[in-house]
Amino acid sequence: MLIFAASVTVFVAYLSFLVLVAYRVERQTGWLATLPSKRWVYALSLTVFFTGWSYFSAGSSLLDLGMPFVAIQIGASLTLLFGWPILKRAVRIAKLHRVTTLPGLLSVRFGASRMLTGLVAVLLVVGTLPYIALQIGALGFALENVVTSPSVLELQEGRGVVLTLTLLLALFAIAFGVRRADPTHRNAGMTVTLAIDGLVKLAAVIAVSCFALWKQPELFALLSAPDIWPHLLLESTPRNSYATWLGYLLISMGAVAVLPHMYHLIVVESADENQVADVRGALPLYGWLTYLMVILIAIAGLARGLEGPQNQASILLIPMAANQPILELLAYLGGVAAAAGITIAAFVALTNLITADLVLPVLSRLTTRLGPALLPLRWLILLAVAGMSFGVWLLTDVTFLSQFGLVSFIAAAQLAPALFLGMTWAKLSRGAVLWGLVLAVPTWLYTALLPSFAGKSPVLARWVADGPFGWSLLRPYSLFGLTGMDPYVHSFFWSMTLNLMAIVLVSLFKPSTRAEVEQAEALLQGKPTYPLLYHRFLKTLSYPEMEAVLVKYLGDEQAQEQMERIRADLSRMDVPQESKLLAARNAIQRALSGPLGPSVACDIVQREFPVSESAVPDAMEAYQKLELMLETSREDLASRLRELSLLNALSERLVVARDQHHVLETGTGLLWDMLHFERVGALMVEQGQSRLCCLKGFQHLTEGPFSVPEDSSLADALRRRQIYVVTEGRSQDPILSLEGARTLFYVPIVSEQSSVGVLICGMTSSPLALSPSLRNVLQSIANELAISLSEARHREKEELLRQQLETTLANLADGVIVFDPQRKIRLVNPAFRRLAFVPAAEDLQGADLLTIFQWLDPKDLSGQRLALEKLPSIQALGGKTAHLTARVGGHEEGERILSITSVPVLDAADRVVQVVSVYRDITELYHLTEDLERRVQDRTDELAQERDRLMLSNQKLEKALEDLRNLDQLKGTFVNAISHDLRIPLTGITGYAEFLEDEIGGPLTEQQQVYAREIQLAAARMTRLLNDLLDYARIEAGKLTVELRTIELTELLRGAVATFLPAAEKKGLRLVLDLQPAIPAVWADADRVLQIVSNLLSNAIKFTPAGGEVRVRALSEDAVVATEVSDTGPGIPPEVLPHLFERFFQTEAGIKAGGTGLGLSVSKSLVEAQGGTMSVESKPGEKTTFRFTLPKAVSE
C-alpha cells in the first residue's frame, strides 16, 4: 500500500517526466522530436475526453444508470465518426482566419458581434469551470483512495497538496500551452504529453480489468445477473429510459467538439484539417475499449462488495485488496494521467477563450499598447482559471461536482447548432444563432445549473421542489409540467428545443441578406471573403501604416512576422485594386485575430481605419462596380476555364496522335464527347483533293473522296478561312439538306495561310447559335488541330525520309560512315562494315573513329602505309572535302582497293558538325582498268602500223585517181573532138542525101530514092548517136546545161506526137495523145523536154509491134506535171528494169534495134537536171510505161 507522500512523489515524478518529454519535444531533440508529426500521437491526445472523473466514476455510473451512461461515449463517437467533414471545414476556416476559440469561429462565420461572442464565451466558461474543478477533485479522489487514512484530504495539508498539484499543472500549462502571445501556434510538447496520458490510462484500465478477470473468470456470467447489475436494461428505472438513452446520446454528440478543451485540440493542435478525418476512429475505438474494461472492473468491484461511492474507486481498490502494489501504482497513475491531461488542456483552452473573447475586447478599448502585455496577461488569466477551478472544488465537494459533468455537456451542446448548422447552411443568420442562445442559455441556467446548487441552499432547494413562488409549472426539473424525465435530459430538451425553435423562426422571419449569404457561401467554400462595404469604406493602405498598427497591438516581433506573411499573400494576388485593399484590410484583421481574437481585431481595424459617413455612397458605388466586375469576370473566367479544360483535354489526346487522320479523329472525338455535337466530321484537303473522314452521327455522308460544291458554304469556309454557320431554312447547303440537320458549323483548319481542312459539326435535335464563347472554343480547337496536323505532316515526311535513308544506306553497295567533330561514330551502314573488315559483333555506335583503322590498315596504291593525317576522314574535319584511293586490309580477309571520299557537313557558321565518308570498293574496277590500259596500248601500236600502211595505200590510190581523172578528161576531150569532127561530115552526108532525094542533081531511080532515104536515116541515127554521146560527155563532165523557163507542155507534146505520127502510122500503130484538161505550164528547158519525149516515143514506136498502141499522157499532180509514154509492146523483164537507166545498158531487143544504150540514161539525167524524176513500169507481154515529172511553173 502506498503512503500519501509516496503518492504525491509519484505524481510529481510523473509530471516531471511529462515536463522532460514536452521540453525535448519543443526543443526538437532526439527521436521525441518526430512524435508530433505522428498521427497516432495526435489521435491519443484526443482521449482527454476520457477524463479523470470518468476514469474513476464510469464504473459506478454504469452500474447506477445502466446503458444510458454508455450513450455518452457513443454519442461522442458518432460525431467524430460521421461529423468529421463539418469539423474539417471548421478547422480549415479557423486556421485560415487564425481563430483559436469557438466564439472566434462563430464571429468569423456570423460577423463580429460582441454580444454573440461574449454570450458564447460566458456560457463556455461558466459551464466548464465546474468541470475542471471536478477533474481537480479526481486528483484528490485518487490521493484519498491510496492513502491509509480516508480522511487525510479533509486536513488542511491535503488541500494544500491538491492546490500545489493544481499549481504544478497550471505551470505546466503555462510552460507548454501558453508559451507565446500568439495562441495560433501548435503546442507540440503538450500534445505529446496528452498522448502519453492517454496511453497510461488505457494501460491501467486494461491491466486492472485483465487482472480482475484473471482472478475472477466468472465475471462475464455476473454481467447478466440481475442482482449484480439490476439497472442494466433500459426502462428498468424511471431514469433509465429510452428517452434518457437518446438524450445522453444527443447531448454528447453536440458537446464533444464544442467543449473548450476538445475544440482546442481539434482546431489548434491539429496539423491541418485533414487530420480530423485521419483520426476520426481513434477516440471512438479508445472509448469502446475502455468502457468495456470499465464494466468488468465495476462488476469485479461489486463482486468484492464495493457498492455506491466505494465502487468509484474499484480500479484502485481491486489491486490494493489483492496486494498488488505495482498494479495499484499503475491504476493510480492512470487516474492521475486522466485528471492531469484534461486539466492542462482545459486550462489552456479556457485561457485562450477568456483572453480573446472576454478580456481583450474590454482591454483593447482602454489601451492600444496590448502587444507587450499579451503574454503576461495570458499567464495571469491561466493562473486565474486554475485558482477559480481550485476554488470551486474547495468550496464544494466531489459528490456535488460529479453532477457537473453532464451540466457542462448540456451547456456546450447549446453551441452545436451554431457550429454544425453554421458550417453547412449559409442562410443561417447571426440573429438566429443569437436568439437561439438567448433563449437556451437562461433555460440551461434555470433547469440545469441552478438546481445543481439546491443542496447548498434551502431556498434554492425549495425553489427546485415547488417552483418559484410556488409556481409548480416553473419547477426547474419539471418545467411546464414535464415530468418523469432524467433532469439532464429534461434540461437539454427544453434548452435545445427553444434554441432550435428560435433558429428556425428567426431564419424564417428575418432571413439573412443576400450579401450575408454570399459572404457565408464564400467562407464555407473556401473563397476569400471581404467585409461588407456598407459598413465601412476603405482608404488606401500602405505597408508602413499596416505595420504600425500591428506593432502597436502585437509588439515588434509578432508584427514583423505577420507583415512578412501579409506582404507575401498580397504580392501573390492578381486582383483589382479595390479587392487588394479589402484583402489588405482582411490580412491585418487576421493577423490581429490570432493573439487578440476576432472581435477585438475587428474593433481595432474599424478604429484604425475609420470611415466618414460621406464616403458611404462612394463605397456603395464602388462596391456595386466591383460586384459587377467580379460577376462579369467570374463568367469570363468560367467560360475561359471551360475553354482551357477543353483545350487541355484536346492537347492531352493529341499527344498520342501520330498521323493526320488520328489528329482529326481526336478533334472530332472531342467535339462529340465534350461539346456533345450530334454530327461531327472533318474534310481533309490534300494536294487539291478533298476527302471526308472521321464522320460520326452522319447517316448519309460516307467517308472518302468528296467533291465540294463551288457555291457551297463549305467551299466558302475553305476559301475565306472563316467559320460558316448554316442553319435550317436559311441556307441551301448540300450537307445540311442531305442530313436533315438544324445547324451546321464549318470551321476551317488553317495552317500556313491556307485551309488544310474543315471541321464539320452540327445539331439535328435543336438549332444552335454560334455564341462568342462557342466561336472561341471552335476556333481554338481548329487552331490546335492545325498545329498538330502540321506537326503530323512533318513527322510523316521525316519518317518517310528516315525510312528512305535507312533503306538506302542498308542497300547501298558503298560503305558510309558518319562521325562528329569529336570523331565519335554516329552512323555506319552494313556495307561499311563489310568493306572495312569490321567484325559483325563490334559495336561502332559512339566509338572513336580511330578504332576502325585497326581493321582498315590503309596503304597507298604502292603499298606504303598511310599516315593518319593523310586519310580523307581526318582531313575533312578541317572543313574541306577530301578524296583518296587506298589499299585496305591485307590480312587473311584479303585486300581491297577503296575510293574514299569524305565530305564535311557545315553549320551556318561554317563549323564542321559532322563528316560523311563514303567508301567505294574499286578493286575489280582497278584491275580491269589496268588490263584495259595494257590492251589499249597494244591496240594503239597495231593501229600505228596499220595507219602507216594505209597512208602508203592512200598515196597510191591518190595517184591512180589522178591518173583516172586525167584519163577521163582526155576521154571527154576525145569524145567532144570526135563528136564534133563526126558531126561535120554527117551534116554533109545528110545534106547531100537530101539533095539526092530531092533530085536536085538529077532524077533518081526508085531504087536510088530508097538508097538516098536509107542514107538519110543512117545519118540521122548517127546524128542522134553523136548527140547522145555529146550529152553523155557533158553529163559526165558536169557541163550539161539546161535553160529553164515556163513552157506549155501540152503544146510541146502535141508537136512531138505530130512529128512521130507518120512513123507510127507507117508501122501500123495507133499514137494517142491523152491530155488532162488545163495542164499547167512547167518550168523546164523546152528543147531538152522535146529531146526526152522524142527519145521515149522513138523507143515506144520502135519496140511496139504493128497494131499496137502508143499513148502519151500528161497529168497534173501536186507540184509537178507527169508525162507518161506507154506502149503495148512486149514489155521489159523485171530483172532488167533496175538496170534500164544505166549507161550503155541495152536489152536484147535494144541491141537488135541498134540502140546505143545511152538514150534512157541521158533522158533520165536531163529530167533530173530540170528538177524532175523518171521511172518505168512494165508488165511483160502487156504494157510498158515510162514516166517523168517536171516542176510546175510558178505563176508570176
Partner 1 sequence: MQEPDASPWGLMLLLGLLLLSYPLMALFNHRMPIFGVPMILLYGFGVWLGLIVLSLLYRPRE
| Contacts with partner 1, residue ranges (CB under 8 A) | 67, 70-71, 73-74, 77-78, 81-86, 88-89, 92, 220-221, 223-224, 226, 232-235, 242, 245-246, 249, 277, 280-281, 284-285, 288, 291-292, 295, 424, 525-526
Q: How far is the CB of 523 from partner 1 (least distance, A)?
A: 12
Nearer of residues 86 and 723 to partner 1, judged by Cβ: 86
Instruction: Tell the smallest beta-carbon distance from residue 232 to partner 1 (Å).
Output: 6
- The neighbouring-strand residues paired with 1047 are 1082
Q: Are 546 and 588 in contact (CB under 8 A)?
A: yes
Measured from the CB atom, the residue of 217 and 863 that comes closer to partner 1 is 217
Q: Please tell me the distance from the alpha carbon of residue 896 to that of residue 910, in angstroms, as a whole number.
A: 34
Runs of H (alpha helix) within 147-241: 156-177, 188-215, 219-223
Report the residue number, 75 or 130, with the smaller CB distance to partner 1.
75
Taking the least distance from each CB to partner 1, the nearer of 309 and 526 is 526
**Which residue has 480573446 as its cell numbers?**
356
**Rounded CA separation 946/687 (Å):** 66
Distance separating alpha carbons of residues 867 and 799, to the nearest angstrom:
40
For the bound state, the minimum distance from the C-beta of residue 279 to partner 1, rounded and expressed in Å, comes to: 11
C-beta of 221: minimal distance to partner 1 in Å? 6
Query: Which residue, 92 or 887, is less far from partner 1 as judged by CB?
Result: 92
Q: How far is the CB of 216 from partner 1 (least distance, A)?
A: 13
CB of 60 to partner 1, least distance (A): 17
Closest contact distance (angstroms) between CB of 293 and partner 1 is 12
Beta bridge partners of 685: 690
Q: Is 1045 helix (H, G, I), strand (E, B) or coil?
A: strand
Task: Give 51 or 73: the residue with its C-beta nearer to partner 1.
Answer: 73
Contact 347, 173 (CB under 8 A): yes
Tell me how far, at minimum, the Cβ of 340 lies from partner 1, in Å: 27
Question: Distance of CA 365 to CAs 21, 278, 600, 607, 866, Å?
Answer: 40, 42, 9, 10, 102
- Pseudo-torsion of CA 303, 309, 315, 321, nearest 10°? -60
* 887's grid cell: 589499299
When the beta carbons of 520 and 777 are compared against partner 1, the nearer one is: 520
The C-alpha atoms of residue 464 and residue 495 are separated, in whole angstroms, by 17
Rounded to an integer, what distance in angstroms lies between the CA atom of residue 1042 and that of residue 1035? 11
Answer for the pair 530, 605: CB distance below 8 angstroms, yes or no: no
CB of 465 to partner 1, least distance (A): 31
Residue 215 CB, nearest approach to partner 1 (Å): 17
How does DSSP classify residue 711?
Answer: T
In terms of CB distance, is 71 or 178 closer to partner 1?
Answer: 71
CB of 511 to partner 1, least distance (A): 23
Cβ of residue 78: shortest distance to partner 1, in angstroms?
5
Nearest to 491 by CA among 431, 418, 408: 408
CA quadruple 837, 840, 841, 846: dihedral sign = positive
To partner 1, the closest distance from the beta carbon of 521 in angstroms equals: 13
CB of residue 643 to partner 1, shortest distance in Å: 22
Gyration radius from the chain CA atoms: 67
Residue 230 or 309: the one with the smaller Cβ distance to partner 1 is 230
CB 537 within 8 A of CB 611: yes
Q: What is the dihedral of CA 352, 357, 363, 365, to 10 degrees?
A: 150
State in angstroms the smallest separation of the CB of 217 from partner 1: 10
Q: Which CB sits closer to partner 1, 145 or 586? A: 586
Burial letters 970-1003, b for 16+ CB under 10 A, else e: eebeebbeebeeeeeebeebbebbeebbeeeeee
Quick one: DSSP state of residue 257? T
72/445 with CB nearer partner 1: 72
Q: Where are the alpha helices (DSSP H) in 674-764?
A: 713-720, 734-739
d(CA 634, CA 300): 68
Q: Report the residue number, 136 or 299, with the smaller CB distance to partner 1.
A: 299
- Residue 133 near residue 386, CB atoms below 8 Å: no
- How far apart CA 974 and CA 198 sit, in angstroms, is 160
* Least distance between partner 1 and beta carbon 97 (Å): 15
Instruction: CB nearer to partner 1: give 206 or 461.
Output: 206
Closer to partner 1 at the Cβ: 527 or 719? 527
**Minimal distance, residue 86 CB to partner 1, in Å:** 6
CA–CA gap between residue 699 and residue 1076 (Å, rounded): 80
The contacts found for 312-316 with CB under 8 angstroms, 24 or more apart, are: 312/56, 312/57, 312/59, 312/60, 312/141, 313/56, 313/141, 313/145, 314/59, 314/60, 315/55, 315/56, 315/59, 315/204, 315/205, 315/208, 316/56, 316/142, 316/145, 316/146
Which residue number, 211 or 245, has a Cβ lying nearer to partner 1? Answer: 245
Q: Cα 489–490–496 angle (5° rounding)? A: 80
Instruction: Tell me whether residue 89 or residue 109 sits nearer to partner 1 (CB atom).
Output: 89
Report, in Å, the least distance between residue 242 CB and partner 1. Answer: 4
Cβ neighbours of 757 (radius 10 Å): 27
Please compute, for residue 579, the number of CA atoms within 13 A of its CA located in the half-sphere on the CB side.
18
Euclidean distance between CA atoms 585 and 604, whole angstroms: 11
The helix or strand, by DSSP H or E, that contains position 926, with its residue range, turns out to be helix 923-997
**Contact predicate 857/865, CB 8 Å:** yes
Q: Which CB atom, from 274 or from 1185, has the smaller least distance to partner 1?
A: 274
**Which residue, chain included where needed, has cell 456598407?**
534
Nearer to partner 1, 526 or 1134 (CB): 526
